[in-house]
Amino acid sequence: MKTGVAIIGSGNIGTDLMIKIKRISDQLEVLALVGIEEASEGLARARRLGVATTHEGVAGLLALPEFERVQVVFDATSAGAHRHNYAALRAQNKIMVDLTPAAIGPYVVPAVNLDAVGDVDNINMVTCGGQATVPIVAAISRVATVAYAEIVASISSKSAGPGTRANIDEFTETTAAALEQVGGAERAKAIIVLNPAEPPMVMRDTVFCLATGAGGGPVNRDAVREEVTRMVADVHTYVPGYILKQTVQFEEIVEDYVPALGRAFAGTKISVFLEVSGAGHYLPEYAGNLDIMTSAAIRAAERLVSRTLGVNA
């Protein structure tokens, strides 16, 4: 028997999440889609698919008869709205999977730290940039000491909806924090670029790391390549459009002052270039930034269900 889930947010991410679960998940069943606009295209699509809907937000969800069967609630709204939604749901014994940058619960990147997360009722899926780049920094951290990580996430402006645009500050702060807390970097910085190019470009992510190997010397390049390649393959299992664009690049730095560190650095600069295209379940292929969020959220929910609720994976 599948585990019932509800989705708060009837925009692009929520709608893609609904359709993706119906198409690819053999463990989850979408029972309800929640919005705040009665004429929402997402709510109309949900009704056509036989999914219960409400345009009265989280209060409407609590009033739905289907809510009793819901075990997992995905939140695809905004950071501010998630804080309100969690306050309303925290006493309902549901697991919340937060796709906003609110960061109330622990950061989760399925390929990196999902198994290490304890029994919690709220997990945070970081950001699209975090889901794409934290795995790479974590891979490098396994075989080197990452003093500084800087990532640039470039997405099509057409795939950046109102929620993304309203949360730009939270995006950069949350991504940088996850690069440190989950990725293992001592210091980190995140940058997002909304690219207006036509035709729209797929998501591209660049990861720069300043790292040292044993004894503070150059890193083991072969070990870094192996770990990065392995990590890309792991993410690819649940995000098929996640690929390494070229071989990992290395540059030795004799000694240079790094403002972000506030000190001089000597070691190895590592550059990794990624591309993320969408699966096309609902959104266009160029919307890889949204696809990686919904795909990661489903993977996380399935694992949490199998562990916390005792449902076989």
Catalytic positions, please? 128
According to the 3-state scheme, what is the secondary structure of 288-306?
HHHHHHHHHHHHHHHHHHH
Rounded Cα–Cα distance for residues 276 and 288 (Å) = 5
State the sign of the Cα–Cα–Cα–Cα dihedral 288, 113, 82, 41.
positive
Q: Among candidates 67, 98, 62, which has minimal Cα distance to 83?
A: 98
Peptide bond connecting 196 to the previous residue in cis, omega within 30 degrees of 0: no
Phi–psi pair at 297, nearest 5 degrees: -65, -40
CA 135 to chain centre: 11
CA 51 to chain centre: 25
Rounded Cα–Cα distance for residues 273 and 266 (Å) = 22
Annotated binding site for NAD(+): 10-13, 159-167, 289
What separation, in Å, do the N-terminal and C-terminal C-alpha atoms of the chain show?
A: 11
Gyration radius (Cα) of the chain, Å? 20
State the sign of the Cα–Cα–Cα–Cα dihedral 80, 84, 85, 91.
positive
Phi–psi pair at 286, nearest 5 degrees: -70, -15
Rounded Cα–Cα distance for residues 115 and 307 (Å) = 9
Q: How far is CA 242 from CA 85, 178, 279, in A?
A: 31, 19, 10
Helix (H, G, I), strand (E, B) or coil at 254: strand
Please name the residue that has the structure tokens 């506030």. Answer: 262
